[in-house]
A and B are shown apart, each in its own frame.
Chain A
Amino acid sequence: MSADIAPPVPAQEAAAEAGVRVVNVAKTFGSPPAVRALEHVNFEIARGELVALLGPSGCGKSTLLRIVAGLVQADPGGAIEVLGRQQTEPSPGVSVVFQTHNMLPWLTVEANIRLAAEIQKLDRAEIDSRVESVLSVLRLENFRKSYPHQLSGGMRQRAALGQALILRPQLLLLDEPFGALDALTRDQLNVELLRIWQEIRKTVLLVTHSIAEAVFLADRVLVMSDRPGRIIEDIRIDLPRPRDPRTTKALPEFSRYIIQLNRIMGVD
């Protein structure tokens, strides 16, 4: 179904460049009754690629992201390679942003953003300069002394992005980072996300259940089945970059991708 639009990535090129390689990963929760969350999951993400993981609620896409992050152990038998290393626990170079922000209520926005860098024991001057650049990229300068509860939901997720960017990750894992926000704020933040990604060009794996969001942002969309989750489609999104909400979403190809994905996910 996707063959006419997304030619498979040449094998040796992917092997050399892989940011993430997931081979035959499965995950079973609890026992008994055991819940099979993931089954035979295989995919690769090239370095610098922005890949969306699309699937219905409860299909295990967040679990898959946590496995890639090293936060959850996959069942034995599979392999997860991140930035050229076997992933068994959270590793340097990987940052995660979740749907609910992870800011400590007793720290200011600035202190929250610094936190991860301080824990990694980075040099003080280095942290200072990184904080400044993160605050400016995310346009949070005026909110640096605010506490999380004083911010709007959108501002909080922006700061949560800052918490991840401060470590200058090679791989950014986003678990529906704007999923709890209203549609307008969500669209705005997606545009910001693209702008930032355009600048840093790091590998991004974005979990989402929004087809439009996946198509608008990603180079490739991996579609997951219902539980137990498997990758059932791998669709390359050949829309020109830089993308922009008005022009990109007006392209006929954009609608075609949406229709195609709707059909795959059975929501047409």
Chain B
Amino acid sequence: MQADIIKAGWLRATIERVILFVALAAIWEISVVAFNVKPYLLPRLSTVVESIWTFRTTLLIQSLVTANEIILGYIAAVIGGIILSLIIYAWPLARRTVYPLVVLFQGLPKIALAPLMIIWMGYGTSSKVFIAFLFAFFPVVISTLGGLSGTPQNLVEHFRSIRAGTWTTFWRLQLPAALPSIMDGCKTAMPLAVIGAIVGEFVGSERGLGYLILDATAQAKTDMLFAALIAVSVLAGLLYWVVEILADRVWWRSL
């Protein structure tokens, strides 16, 4: 019974989405024809779909290149961000010195650093990974620190009263209590890692979806440009979806 209701709700939501998508697609297709828009400005949707099919191998390969950069940069940001937060949280000296530095660095437009990273690390994967890392790093730090210091005071007192040591309190109380907040940071960080990787490819690369976008633009192949944009959206959506599934495992977030 319950399952039926949930299934019905899901079905309805899906139908609504499909209707919206079809309507938008129809408006796109019809308007381009009706208003006689030049294809280099906005190609017909059907042309875009056609180029996606024609260049499917290229799109897939370049998507994998970009996905690889995003995922490596993202994982580095999450692990590095959490570790740095723990150091800042546990060590007053780091809180006084490293933390202000991190905040200061955050104020810097990281996009402006991208050319330097290309000079330092070259045209290959590592510079893109590092730029993705730079973009995604800060929200992880902020949310981890916020989660750790937001441990409910009554629970901290309870752990003192049952004579739990520092490590036990960390593993059994502070970390799980901080996880919902950490997961929020991880969710925020994912789209930023995508931006970072694409920015890196814009600034200096011969591979990846960012490069594909620039290349298509240079050759005025707008249908190809749109195909690449759709690939970026699908990639970003997929990656975010994976993070969201992982984040949902921390089910006590809303309690």
Partners in one complex: yes
Residues of B in contact with A, size category = 10 to 19
Is A258 interfacial (CB-CB < 8 Å)? no
Q: Which of B44-76 contact A (CB under 8 A)?
A: none
Residues of A within 8 A of B255 (CB): 105, 149
0 or 1 for each of A44-75: is its CB under 8 Å from B? (1 = yes): 00000000000000000000000001110000
Residues of B within 8 A of A70 (CB): 161
Is B173 interfacial (CB-CB < 8 Å)? yes
Is A84 interfacial (CB-CB < 8 Å)? no
Kindly list the 6 A-B residue pairs having the minimum CB-CB distance in the complex, ordered from nearest.
Answer: A102-B158, A116-B162, A105-B255, A105-B252, A106-B252, A96-B161
Q: Which of B129-168 contact A (CB under 8 A)?
A: 154-155, 157-164, 168
User: A106 with B163: in contact, given A98-B158, A119-B168, A149-B255 (CB under 8 Å)?
Assistant: no
Q: How far is the CA of A120 from the CA of B163 in the complex (A)?
A: 8
0 or 1 for each of B154-194: is its CB under 8 Å from A? (1 = yes): 11011111111000100011001100000000000000000
0 or 1 for each of A77-110: is its CB under 8 Å from B? (1 = yes): 0000000000000111011101010101110000
Q: How far is the CB of A241 from chain B (nearest CB, A)?
A: 29
User: A102 with B163: in contact, given A119-B168, A119-B172, A149-B255 (CB under 8 Å)?
Assistant: no
Q: How far is the CA of A240 from the CA of B125 in the complex (A)?
A: 82
Show the binding face of A for B, using Cβ within 8 Å: 69-71, 90-92, 94-96, 98, 100, 102, 104-106, 115-116, 119-120, 149, 167
Q: How far is the CA of A22 from the CA of B160 in the complex (A)?
A: 21
Residues of B within 8 A of A91 (CB): 163
User: A71 with B154: in contact, given A104-B173, A119-B168 (CB under 8 Å)?
Assistant: no
Asked if A104 contacts B155 (CB within 8 A), the reply is yes
User: A90 with B155: in contact, given A106-B252, A119-B168 (CB under 8 Å)?
Assistant: no
Residues of A within 8 A of B177 (CB): 104
Q: How far is the CB of A66 from chain B (nearest CB, A)?
A: 8
User: A115 with B162: in contact, given A100-B154, A104-B155 (CB under 8 Å)?
Assistant: yes
Asked if A71 contacts B160 (CB within 8 A), the reply is yes
Most buried by A among B159, B162, B252: B162
User: A98 with B154: in contact, given A92-B163, A119-B164, A119-B172 (CB under 8 Å)?
Assistant: yes
Asked if A90 contacts B161 (CB within 8 A), the reply is yes
Return the contact of B161 from the options A69, A100, A104, A105 (Cβ within 8 A).
A69
Query: Given known contacts A69-B161, A90-B160, A102-B158, what 14 new A-B pairs fall within 8 Å (CB)?
Result: A70-B161, A71-B161, A90-B161, A90-B163, A91-B163, A95-B162, A96-B158, A98-B157, A104-B173, A104-B177, A105-B252, A115-B162, A119-B168, A120-B162
